Amino acid sequence: MKKSIKYAGIAAATLLAVAPVAAPVVSQAADSIVATTPDYNKQQNSADAFKASLNTEAKATDLTVKSIKNGATAADKTAVSIENGSMTLANFNASENGLIKAAIGATDITNIGDSARVTVSAKTTKGAAITTDYDLKKILNDSTQPEVEFTVTMNFTNTNGKADSRTAVVKATKTTDAKDDMTSAKATFTTPLSVALNTTVTSSTLDASNDAKIVDQNGNSVLTDGSTVKAGTNFFTTYSNAIEAAKAGNESTDLTDDAATNAGIASSVKADTSVEPNGTKVFTKAGTYYQVITFTGADGTALNQFVKNYNLDPSTYSVYVNGSKASAGYDFVADTTSATTLKFVRAVNVSNTTDQWSTTDTTGVVTTKTASKYYTLKNDDNVTIANRALGANTAWKTDKVRTNQDGVKQYRVATGEWIDADNVVYAENNNNNNNNGSGLTEIKTVSGVATLTKPAGYFMTLFGDNGKALDNMMLASQTAWRVDRTAKDANGVTYYRVATGEWLQAGEGVSFK
């Protein structure tokens, strides 16, 4: 009986000994699946080795650029590309592209795994993104362009099944420093330009070099070192035709009749042998025409570099025309196809008369004479305006004066309104010298005498057209002076003109009759 109990106890002990072992066995099996630390470490170390294999700097001259397309050979995949999307780690590691210090070993690459892919992006050190291999190659090969920064990123899945990556930045250095940026191009030229009927297209008036200018953001001229400005010899019927011609390079190109018609080149600008015996092209019809103005930047100049930079990154650089910010493709064309140019369009107004006017700015006042009750006005084409006239002995501000080929002189008193110089008396109004910002106005023609009535020994100061006292210019009391004009200053004080540019102030001690 005791023996039976003894065996039973042994059997129970055996079962108890076996049962606890079952759980640890399962646990050990699970641990063996999770325990990937040695492989994980190798992978991370290899990823770090990949990043360390990249240069912090590389010579731009050591880099080659080839687009990697579908079906490209292995040799094609040994060059830097920003268009290929991504490449395998093995292909990138085999590159001889200057971005890599020394290739890491095949064992290390294997450790990272087949999921690894490498992408390359690029931008200039000025911040402009480079999106095509074509642009990348141009910038790397141009010493005047900013240096390039490559961002190389390897993406892979680690042995824990999570996304991982390594990124390094490589700077492509150049042997010469990039030039200081010209960040703005500011072009100015006369538009619209007014010319007479039958003016030749080669007239000096139509030559853009007369007044066309282009400066940088600091106001410095960039038409230097061989850079030029030229006016196209084709004239277009619409602005849109002219800007399209600027894009196509047809601003001065001789075209067939059909091509010229399609391009909108004005048929009224033609060789008219009845006007010019040698067949020179002339404007034979009044109206508005459009002409392309081209600024060309010579190689190595600031303007040349600006146009290249603008095409790469329009958001960083800006163009202005006659004081307003311009839109590419509408207000101007930035072209690097055959030459580095900025092209604009100006209007040319051809009058219906053959008068050829030379116009300049002026600042002054014209006062109509008194021989007639009123004086007629002329429009821009020198045609009398039927329903407009100026009364006798009235003063009007003027901002422009023009003279034609016959010596006829006119002052502009309003937009599109001119009065013959023979019908007015002009007085200069130099506002810049007046502390109040205005000179003598309300000038009227009179005939009288101003007498200084104070006792002998008194002197009265004389004033200029700008209303300011003239240094050491005075009139003695007990003298009389003939007066031909009266005027007033900003405070309403009256003045008498006793000589050209010399005025006596009304008040105590001055009698006028």
Residues of the chain with pLDDT under 50: 1-37, 68-72, 74-77, 177-179, 430-437
pTM above 0.85, yes or no: no
pLDDT, one tens digit per residue, over 196-227 is: 888 888 888 888 877 899 999 988 888 877 88
Give the list of residues 6+ apart from residue 493 with CB closer than 8 angstroms, or none.
505, 506, 507
- pLDDT value at residue 275: 60
- pLDDT value at residue 451: 92
Q: Which two tokens stand for residue 284?
A: 């034979």
CB atoms within 10 A of CB 446: 14
Which amino acid belongs to residue 168?
Answer: A
- pLDDT value at residue 231: 92
Burial of 437 (0-12, 13-18, 19+ CB in 10 A): exposed
pLDDT, one tens digit per residue, over 280-322 is: 788 989 899 999 999 999 888 889 989 998 988 888 899 999 9
- pLDDT value at residue 276: 57
- pLDDT value at residue 176: 53
- pLDDT value at residue 411: 95
- pLDDT value at residue 38: 53
Give the list of residues 6+ apart from residue 3 with CB closer than 8 angstroms, or none.
none
Residue closest to 356 by CA, chosen among 407, 308, 394: 407
Which uninterrupted H or E stretch holds 312? Answer: helix 302-312
Q: Which two tokens stand for residue 197?
A: 């009927």
- pLDDT value at residue 412: 94
